[in-house]
Amino acid sequence: MIVYFIGTGGSEGIPAHLCTCRTCEEARRLGFAQRKPSTLAVITKNNEAILIDVGTDIRDLLHVPLKAILLTHWHHDHIYGLYKLRWIAQETELYAPEGHADALILNDPKNLKPKTIKAGDVLKIDSLKITALKLNHEIETLGFLIEEDGKRFALLYDTKGIPPETMAILREKSPDVAVVDATYAPGVNDPYHNNVDEGAEVGSEIAEEVYLSHISHKNMPFLQLLAYVKKRYGSKVRVAYDGLIVNI
C-alpha cells in the first residue's frame, strides 16, 4: 500500500493567517514547510484509494473515486474538506465515530453515506483490513491499523499517549509504519495532543518506522524540527510533510 500525506498540519495549518511566529514565517519562505490540516490517503495494491480525514479540499491532489472515507474524529480540522467533498458525484461511504458528529454533514450529506464505527470494529475495504483503535483525545477519536498482505500501517492521531488496550494490539501486531500525533514542541504538556518527544517515543515502541504528523505552528520551525528529530532518534523517526509518499 502507498500512504499519501496530503495534509500534515494542525487546525490552523502552517502558515496561520497573519501569524508572524518563526514557524509560519519560515513556511512563507519555504513551500515544503507549509502544512494543510490533516488529510491522508491510502492507495491499495489494486490502485484503489481510501481517504482518512478531510482537513482540506482534495480536488487538485486526489481526483479519483474513493472506495471509502474514514474519519478519526469530528474536530473541524479533520472535516473542513467534507463540506465540499459531500458534493462528490458518486455515492461514497463515510465511516466515523459517533462522538460530536457534525450536524450539517449528517443532516445533509449529499452523496456521502455516513456510517458509525467504534473502537474494535473491523472493516474490509478492497484489499485492506482496517481495525479501529481507541485513542486519547478531547472527544471520541479512532486510530486505524491498516493491513494488506502482511504489511501493517498504524495511524495514531489525534491523541495524547496511547490507551493501554490500543498499545496491547499495536505491540502484538507491530506495524511496519506508524504515523503519530506530534502536535507540539518538546516540553509542552497538552492534555489532548503529544509533543514531539511523546510522539517519537510511543511510535518507536511499536513500529519499525515512525512519521510525526499533525504538526502545529506552535511546534518548532520545520528545519529545526528535522534536525532535532534526526539528532535524537536517528533514521527511525521522521517528520512527515505535505506531499510525502510512503510505500509500505
The contact set with Zn ion (CB under 5 A) reads 16, 19, 21, 24, 75, 77, 158, 217
CB of 142 to Zn ion, least distance (A): 11
CB of 33 to Zn ion, least distance (A): 11
CB of 194 to Zn ion, least distance (A): 12
Q: How many CA atoms lie within 13 A of 132 on its CB side?
A: 21
Residue 153: strand pairing partners: 146, 177
CB of 245 to Zn ion, least distance (A): 22
CB of 45 to Zn ion, least distance (A): 29
State the Cα–Cα distance between residues 238 and 219, nearest whole angstrom.
Answer: 15
Q: Which is nearer to Zn ion, 69 or 147 (CB)?
A: 69
Q: Which is nearer to Zn ion, 77 or 148 (CB)?
A: 77
C-alpha cell at 14: 502552517
Q: Which is nearer to Zn ion, 14 or 145 (CB)?
A: 14
Q: Which is nearer to Zn ion, 160 or 217 (CB)?
A: 217
Q: Which is nearer to Zn ion, 75 or 160 (CB)?
A: 75
CB of 8 to Zn ion, least distance (A): 11
Q: Which is nearer to Zn ion, 89 or 103 (CB)?
A: 103
Cis peptide before 158 (omega within 30 of 0): yes
- Closest Cα partner for 40 from 87, 14, 84, 77? 77
